[in-house]
Amino acid sequence: MKLRIAILGTRGIPNYYGGFEHISEYVAAGLVKRGHSVTVYNSHNHPYAESTWNDVEIRHCYDPEYLIGTAGQFVYDLNCLLDARKRDYDIIMLMGYTSSSVWGSLYPEKSVIITNMDGLEWKRSKYSKPVQAFLKHAEKLAVKYSRFYIADSLVIKSYLQDKYQIDSKYIPYGAELVSEIEREQLNAAQIAKEDYFLLMARMEPENNIETILEGFNKSTSRRSFKVLGDTGNRFGKYIIHKFKNDERIQFKGSIFDNAKVRSLQNNSYLYFHGHSVGGTNPSLLEAMASEALIAAHNNPFNKSVLHTDAFYFSNANEVREIVETVQRKETEKTMVNNNLHKIKYQFNWESIVDQYEEFMIECYYNINHERIVSCQG
């Protein structure tokens, strides 16, 4: 069964942005290798300007976000949908609903609509109350106008069942095991193996960056703490100012070389993952795949992935205790190896793409069977 598939709702591939772009890149290329025709919609000003990427068709649509801000995302999604309506796609997969579900009445009727649901976006503290209310409404519209749903976390799957009584398909993100080349990306002058703590995140309150750094700041550790992420926004500038007197804390900015990021994760003494909102987080899986020892914020999303193979914290005092007491002995090695086993057998990309393909074929058959029965009736 060969399908014509379109992926909408991202800024485009190859990935220069975030989670949905990350998974779209792997899934699109994987589905093409399995014989399907796949189109990914890209912003017109995406850095990659070609019409194909790894045999995936790229369609560029006008995106005015650079001119008018967030409102431009809604215009971009509308432009992508209007273009998709002209084409005979079997499957349209929408990555998220934040700015696309408002156009639900325009979804192509002949295509099977699958929405990869966001991770409770309305809970993000960076949003004002009116924006949070809109995101709740957008979530309801996504449920209303989609026929099938994907949840990248078992917590999200359970939430959708309880809130809307819909049965979503659980398919997480994937990750690739760290390679020997990635291990050697940084020389001895740049890092001392296992001699630093590491954090990588967008500078947003819900990622618990302030809690983590406050706990470290109060600690007696002599190790350094490397922070990866763009600190140009207001919260990032606030964090830099708050901890400017702690010479152990080093703000490294954004690093877009994935091999160097993986090497930093692999060589860290302890990797902090503070994300508290969303589904299965790609950076967490990559840290697991990079053989990092992990300390994670204590919430259902992280625990559903890491289980007992991480240290957990809920406040700055617990961070300080972890920093001052963590060891790298047999117990910790077992934790790292258990997480590596999860990547190999649960979160590997081949398995993830297989699950996407099987689900899409199942959805396509179900819809067409219903249409045949309806016509016969």
Helix (H) or strand (E) holding 266: helix 258-267
Helix (H) or strand (E) holding 289: helix 282-289
Query: What percentage of the chain exceeds 90 in pLDDT?
Result: 73
The predicted pLDDT at position 116 comes to 95
Q: How far apart are CA 324 and CA 221, in angstroms?
A: 6
302 pLDDT band, cuts 50/70/90, is very high
**Could you report the per-residue pLDDT of 186-200, keeping only the tens digit for each?**
555 555 566 899 999
Instruction: Give the mean pLDDT of the chain.
Output: 91
The predicted pLDDT at position 352 comes to 96
Q: How far apart are CA 127 and CA 277, in angstroms?
A: 13
Q: How far apart are CA 279 and CA 238, in angstroms?
A: 27
Q: Nearest CA to 291 among 336, 348, 235, 338?
A: 336
DSSP-based three-state secondary structure for 213 = helix
Instruction: Tell me: cis bond preceding 14? Omega within 30 of 0 counts.
Output: yes
Q: Nearest CA to 168 among 40, 279, 56?
A: 279
Highest mean pLDDT pick, 100-104, 231-235, 292-296: 292-296
CATH of the domain spanning 180-345: 3.40.50.2000
287: left (phi over 0), alpha (psi -120 to 50) or beta: alpha
55 pLDDT band, cuts 50/70/90, is very high
- The CATH class given to the 4-174+348-376 domain equals alpha beta
Q: Which DSSP symbol is given to 64? A: T
The predicted pLDDT at position 256 comes to 75
373 pLDDT band, cuts 50/70/90, is low
- Which token pair is 197? 């703590």
Averaged pLDDT, 82-88: 96
pTM of the predicted model, to two decimals?
0.87
180-345 shares the fold of 4-174+348-376: yes
Question: What is 71-127 written as a DSSP string?
Answer: HHHHHHHHHHHHHHHTS--SEEEEE--TTTGGGGGGS-TTSEEEEE--S-GGG-TTS
- Which token pair is 325? 């007491």
198, 272 Cβ separation under 8 angstroms: yes
225, 249 Cβ separation under 8 angstroms: yes
Place of tokens 């559903």: 304
| Residue 64 neighbours by CB distance under 10 Å | 17
**Could you report the per-residue pLDDT of 252-281, keeping only the tens digit for each?**
998 878 888 898 999 999 999 999 877 778
Q: How far apart are CA 85 and CA 343, in angstroms?
A: 38
**Could you report the per-residue pLDDT of 217-234, keeping only the tens digit for each?**
999 999 999 999 999 999
Residue 305 has pLDDT above 90, yes or no: yes
Q: How far apart are CA 209 and CA 281, in angstroms?
A: 16
Averaged pLDDT, 309-322: 98
271, 295 Cβ separation under 8 angstroms: yes
**Could you report the per-residue pLDDT of 110-155, keeping only the tens digit for each?**
999 999 997 666 666 666 788 778 888 999 999 999 999 999 989 8
The predicted pLDDT at position 183 comes to 63
Averaged pLDDT, 31-45: 97
184 pLDDT band, cuts 50/70/90, is low
Domain assignments of the chain as residue spans, ordered by start? 4-174+348-376, 180-345
The predicted pLDDT at position 5 comes to 98
Place of tokens 């193996």: 193
Q: How far apart are CA 234 and CA 220, in angstroms?
A: 29
Query: Which H, E and C letters describe 154-169, residue by residue?
Result: HHHHHHHHHHHCCCCE
296 pLDDT band, cuts 50/70/90, is very high
Averaged pLDDT, 201-210: 92
**Could you report the per-residue pLDDT of 166-181, keeping only the tens digit for each?**
999 999 999 988 877 6
CB-neighbour burial class of residue 130 (10 A; exposed 0-12, middle 13-18, buried 19+): exposed
Determine the length of the chain.
377
| Residue 251 neighbours by CB distance under 10 Å | 18
185 pLDDT band, cuts 50/70/90, is low
